[in-house]
Amino acid sequence: MKKIALVLGCLILLISSCSKKQHKPIPSYIEEPHSFSQPNEAVITHMDLDINVNFDNEIIQGKASYLIENNEASQIILDSKFLTIENVQADGKDTTFSLGNFDEQLGNPLKIDINKSTKQITVFYKTTHKTEALQWLKPQQTADKVHPFLFTQGQAILTRTWIPIQDSPQIRITYNAKVHVPSQLMAVMSAENPKTKTSDGHYTFKMTQPISPYLIALAVGDIEYKAISNRTGIYAEKSMVEKAHYEFSDMENMVASAEALYGTYAWEQFDVIVLPPSFPFGGMENPRLTFATPTVIAGDKSLTSLIAHELAHSWSGNLVTNATWDDFWLNEGFTVYFEMRIMEALYGKDRANMLARIGRQDLEEEIAGFKESPEDTKLKLNLKGRNPDDGMNSIAYDKGYLFLRTLEETVGREKFDTFLKSYFKKHAFSTINTEKFVAFLNKNLLEKYSITFNTDEWIYNAGIPDNQAIISSDKFETVEKTIQQFVKTNMVDEALTKGWTTQEWVHFVRNFPSDIKTEHLTMIDAAFNLTNSNNSYIAMVWYEQAINHDYHGNNIDAKIEDFLIKVGRRWYVSTIYKAFKRNNKTDAALAIYNKARSNYHSVTANTIDDLLAFNKD
């Protein structure tokens, strides 16, 4: 009798597990305002991309095939923006499709008719000249000035402008790609990459770990590879390779110290590609291949916290991903915290605290700028109907950091590290929103150790709560005293600045008294020649002050113009254009912008268009 029951039991188990296989439960995706896709109906799980990169007409053309998980749907919806859709197939046969109404931010929903057994779809398409992800560079805009260059920028919602895709961070796909480029050029992606050029310009890629669509990336140019260790290295144009290799030589140490903090690096390889200076960001954490601006190559390794930052995203962001752009602080706040910990582990507390203090000042200025809209100073945002770019400011980064640092100081570093390690492990290769994070925090840290903490105030309220951690830096206090002395005595004592690091110079320049006189700036420039600084960060903050205080010595106006024409890094150029605007010099800004705009990637151009109310027609 018992035996029969057992056999019967096994049979039932077998049948139920079989039927589960047939009707795979589809994970429940939450509503999100920046994608038309309906992943609860039908969702992509893998992409095969086959594209041709044509530099003559600046168009990418090809096909994107997807394996889909189909919840008996009659339609699958992809996001697309400024794409020409040529044909669509379902399981290898032509099918009907339509493009829904165009939305300024989101583009068009691409609605593809399928049936409930459809397992695969293919979209034949090409990009247009309106594409926002791609920047096609002429040889003149590159370091070596011989060949053209192309790079993509997917975050936040631009991947849909070069690939039709379900473009929500909640989606995760693996991908293979075949990319055809002119034979003098090399193609690299956020995937397993070639180390040398092929003779025919054909490249194949594999990304076997599931990633969100905003992390799909491609760069094409006359680039070379130089290894730093067996899992880290540099891609750059010939004239940049050695410089970049020297500047980022600590990359392997960074990966090792990151692993020691929060667990094994999940992506096997960590390479960096140094892009031309119009790249709109400092860095972009494309998996296996961080994209970086050349402006961090200062010659003295002083701006490499950017690499620590992008590396940290390999955990916070790429492994554990914000579910929606309203939860962006989960990506960036955690990453800044992690970045500071890597910097502290490798270079000590002084350096980490200086970086944190600079971020603290950025936060102060950002909050002051949001005086009219305090809502924007909350960590959890509501960006429905807005461009997710609106949330990409110092609040997510520096308030996010300050929250986590305050939490760390409250619970103690040991408990906090154990908690973070378990957070990454538990949520690896999945997405998380703010509410889920709060629940996880309560259960695994606060309730576990009976600690009270004002989490909700930090996350859901505007401004900064009273219990914020105090970030102090002895080095910066000395810098502040030095400023006072220079101004009081009307004299520069160069000895007082001896051995200053980039961070000290930046703090020095950013903290002049608001009524500092032009004579003081002349005196400082005469002593330190900041106008001609080779350090892009020091130059940038100095230019800002020159504009604030009407300083025109040392031919600085021409230098500012050159900088704005050459560099497209949004944070840098918007800081400078904002200074022009704040000081009622918008005409001067527009005169430069007219010359510079064509060198900018769309994300930078869009920001500056809005800032200066630039008339595009």
Return the active site residues: 310, 397
For Zn ion, the closer of residues 155 and 473 by Cβ is 155
276 is a site residue for ligand BES (CB under 6 A)? no
Yes or no: say if 53 and 99 are a contact pair by the CB < 8 Å rule. no
d(CA 418, CA 413): 9
Our CB check for ligand BES shows the closer of 284 and 589 to be 284
**What is the rounded distance in angstroms from the CA atom of residue 536 to the CA atom of residue 544?**
12
Q: Cα(128)–Cα(166) distance, rounded to whole angstroms?
A: 19
Distance CA 615, CA 617 (A): 6
Q: Is residue 281 a contact residue for ligand BES (CB under 6 A)? A: yes
Task: With contacts defined by CB under 6 A, name the span among 304-312, 379-387, 426-434, 606-614 that binds ligand BES.
Answer: 304-312
Torsion sign across C-alpha atoms 284, 383, 616, 556: negative
Where in 146-175 is the site for ligand BES (CB under 6 A)?
Answer: 155-156
With CB cut-offs between 5 and 8 Å by kind, which of ligand BES, Zn ion, none does residue 283 bind?
Answer: ligand BES
Point out which span in 231-239, 278-286, 550-558, 606-614 binds ligand BES (CB under 6 A). 278-286
363 interacts with, out of Zn ion, ligand BES, none, CB within 5 to 8 A per kind: none
Interface segment toward ligand BES; rule CB under 6 A; list 279-287, 451-459, 466-474, 573-581: 279-287
User: Quick check: 283 binds ligand BES (CB under 6 A)?
Assistant: yes
User: Which residue spans within 17-138 are E strands per DSSP?
Assistant: 42-54, 59-70, 75-80, 83-90, 93-94, 97-99, 108-113, 120-127, 134-137
Contacted entry of Zn ion, ligand BES, none for residue 277, CB cut-off 5 to 8 Å set by kind? none
Per DSSP, the residues of 435-476 read HHHHHHHIIIIITTTT----HHHHHHSSS--TTPPP---HHH
Query: 142: number of CA atoms within 13 Å, CB side?
Result: 24
Least distance between ligand BES and beta carbon 449 (Å): 31
Contacts of the segment 562-568: beta carbons below 8 A, 24+ positions apart = 563/539, 564/592, 564/593, 564/596, 565/592, 565/595, 565/596, 565/599, 566/277, 566/599, 567/277, 567/278, 567/293, 567/295, 567/536, 568/277, 568/278, 568/279, 568/280, 568/599, 568/600, 568/601, 568/604
Q: Which stretch binds ligand BES (CB under 6 A): 236-244, 249-257, 306-314, 398-406?
A: 306-314
Residue 555 CA: distances (Å) to CA of 522, 575, 576, 593: 11, 20, 17, 19
The site string for Zn ion over 331-370 (x = CB under 5 A, - otherwise) reads -x--x-----------------------------------
Site string for ligand BES, 393-432 (x = CB under 6 A): ----x-----------------------------------
At residue 368, the 3 state secondary structure works out as helix
Nearest residue by C-beta to ligand BES?
A: 282
Q: Which of residues 314-333 bind Zn ion (CB under 5 A)?
A: 332
Which parts of 537-576 interact with ligand BES (CB under 6 A)?
Answer: 571
Question: Could you tell me the smallest distance in angstroms from the CB atom of residue 72 to ligand BES?
Answer: 36
- Which range of residues in 25-33, 185-193, 234-242, 307-315 is near ligand BES by CB under 6 A? 307-315
Residues in region 308-337 near ligand BES by CB under 6 A: 309-310, 313, 332
Among candidate residues 499, 611, 521, the one with its CA nearest the CA of residue 564: 611
Number of residues that bind Zn ion (CB under 5 A): 2
Phi/psi of residue 546, each to 5°?
-60, -40
Instruction: Out of 186, 392, 441, 492, point to the residue binding ligand BES (CB under 6 A).
Output: 392
Q: Among 51, 189, 220, 306, which residue interacts with ligand BES (rule: CB under 6 A)? A: 306
Cis ω for the linkage preceding 526 (within 30 of 0): no
Count of helices and strands (H, E) across the chain: 19, 21
Question: 222 vs 332, which CB is nearer to Zn ion?
Answer: 332
Interface segment toward ligand BES; rule CB under 6 A; list 223-231, 305-313, 400-408, 587-595: 305-313
Decide if residue 285 touches ligand BES (CB under 6 A).
yes
Using CB under 5 A, list all residues that contact Zn ion.
332, 335
Using CB under 6 A, list all residues that contact ligand BES.
155-156, 281-285, 306, 309-310, 313, 332, 392, 397, 571
